[in-house]
Amino acid sequence: MNIIQSQADWLARAAEVLPGGGFGNFSNDIIIARGDRARVWDQDGKEYVDYLIGSGPMLLGHGHPEVMDVVLQQLPQGLTFFTNNTLGIELAEEIVRAVPCAEMVRFVSTGGEADMYAIRLARAFMGRDKMVKFEGGYHGMSAEAQMSLSPARQVNFPQAVPDSAGIPQSVADEMLIAPFNDLDYLASLLDEHGSEVAGIIMEPLQRVVPPEPGFLQGVRDLCDKHGILLIFDEIVTGFRLDYGGAQERWGVTPDIATLGKIIGGGFPLAATVGRADIMSHFDKAKVGADKWLMQLGTLSGNPIAAAAGLKTMEVLRRPGQYDQLKATGKRLMEAHDKALTEAGVDFRIVGDATLFDVVFAEGPIRNYRDTQRNDLGQLGAFNRVLRDKGILKAPTKLYPSLALTESDLTITEAAIEAAASAL
């Protein structure tokens, strides 16, 4: 049998059966064959230091031995049951201990599901239809989430712009869009529409753009003023910024939050969490048929993902883990700053030590429209050299991990210098 092994051959096969030649997630010009701690290898055997880490969930790196051990222990006991299981219950208990707003937990399989249910939950609890989201905020693939995620044209706020075909105009009519980090605009929007709004959904760290001092608390205060629910999408920031996520980092507690990525330890698992009175809408016996929010999922809370998530969270609770993660991220940020300053280009390092990237532009980066000033030519050239030098990252995001070694960081610093020099 002729076994096709080269990456080029596999990419050709992908083009025959996959739209766009890929899964729709990352660049379709690479096939990753395996990973180990902070390294991955493509189908041709080229080695990379991995700052993509599965788009965030592999905070401990690939194949962490303790996570692998608990997964291997569970595998012969059963993969999934479509019933409660003890590991899922234990994971829910730990989430409630860790996340300030979490009094109850409902598991799903993906972050997009968690966000969809969070929006539906706010509407069910409030009995209102309109939602507010911030331009450029990512909340999965639901019709509501695909409003003004990455609009190619700028329109006047609060008009929503669909980012996908196949979404009815009626969805756009129920979404109000605001600029991130602009409390004055949000206050004026809610003065006009607050009585119609069920909730505000937001990434507390929007992509890599951090909230300005007082912004999150200001949003919380406006929600309280108008009787609106606040939803933090912590799919990315949960258990990354700090153990308790953005809620712990900035001391602002939402009514509902969504979690994913890290809580599944690399397996499909996410959750919608929140106050008990709000979460009761998942319980038909408590709220009745008219107010009940139906939710089910074949793999929701499955024991493999729960085991991996529990062990990952146990490792993260150990002393010094977040100090190490932040120190690593700070070192990487400083390496970018030094190399790009010496290269004499306009740039800003935007984000947090646990999650950041470079924007090739002058001036402050406060919101989505500021990120659109990014010089895509310089960004593309910079990222291409990084890839050539063995660094794998997303186009506009870099995830540090706890698996990075001194050798990994030395390789990365050299690649950053080469990429900056190429500009």
- The mean of the pLDDT values for the chain is 97
Beta bridge partners of 272: 106, 258
d(CA 371, CA 181): 13
d(CA 112, CA 116): 6
275 is a domain residue: yes
- Mean pLDDT, to the nearest integer, of 66-88? 97
Residues 123 and 263 in one domain: yes
332 is a domain residue: yes
Residues 290 and 182 in one domain: yes
14 is a domain residue: no
The number of distinct structural domains making up the chain is 2
Position 292 scores a pLDDT of 97
> Residue 152 — pLDDT band, cuts 50, 70, 90?
confident
> Residue 95 — pLDDT band, cuts 50, 70, 90?
very high
Residues 202 and 344 in one domain: no
131 is a domain residue: yes
Residues 140 and 248 in one domain: yes
Residues 198 and 324 in one domain: no
User: What residues act catalytically?
Assistant: 138, 233, 261
> Residue 1 — pLDDT band, cuts 50, 70, 90?
very low
Asked if residues 96 and 121 have their Cβ atoms less than 8 Å apart, the reply is no
Residues 149 and 101 in one domain: yes
Residues 385 and 410 in one domain: yes
26 is a domain residue: no
User: What share of the chain has pLDDT > 70, as a percent?
Assistant: 99
Position 213 scores a pLDDT of 98
Domain around 375: 31-63+320-422
Question: Helices 183-193 and 215-226 sit at what angle, rounded to 10 degrees?
Answer: 10
CATH of the domain at 397: 3.90.1150.10
Strands (E), 188-325: 197-202, 229-234, 256-259, 270-274
- Mean pLDDT, to the nearest integer, of 260-281? 98
d(CA 358, CA 301): 36
Residues 257 and 382 in one domain: no
Question: Helices 65-74 and 303-316 sit at what angle, rounded to 10 degrees?
Answer: 150
329 is a domain residue: yes
User: What share of the chain has pLDDT > 90, as a percent?
Assistant: 98
Q: Which residue, 290, 316, 342, sits at the end of a domain?
A: 316
d(CA 226, CA 228): 6
Residues 39 and 106 in one domain: no
Residues 385 and 414 in one domain: yes
> Residue 21 — pLDDT band, cuts 50, 70, 90?
very high
For residue 18, is pLDDT > 80? Answer: yes
Position 4 scores a pLDDT of 66
364 is a domain residue: yes
41 is a domain residue: yes
Per-residue pLDDT tens over the stretch 326-375: 999 999 999 999 999 999 999 999 999 999 999 999 999 999 999 999 99
Per-residue pLDDT tens over the stretch 281-292: 999 999 999 999
Q: Which residue, 316, 346, 370, sits at the end of a domain?
A: 316
d(CA 420, CA 423): 5
- Mean pLDDT, to the nearest integer, of 81-93? 97
Residues 6+ apart with CB under 8 A from 385: 415, 418, 419, 422
Neighbours of 219 (CB within 10 A): 27
Q: Which residue, 291, 316, 341, sits at the end of a domain?
A: 316
CATH of the domain at 95: 3.40.640.10
Q: ∠ CA 407-343-383 to the nearest 5 degrees?
A: 55
Per-residue pLDDT tens over the stretch 382-396: 999 999 999 999 999
Residues 45 and 108 in one domain: no
- Mean pLDDT, to the nearest integer, of 230-256? 98
Position 270 scores a pLDDT of 98
Residues 307 and 344 in one domain: no
For residue 2, is pLDDT > 60? Answer: no
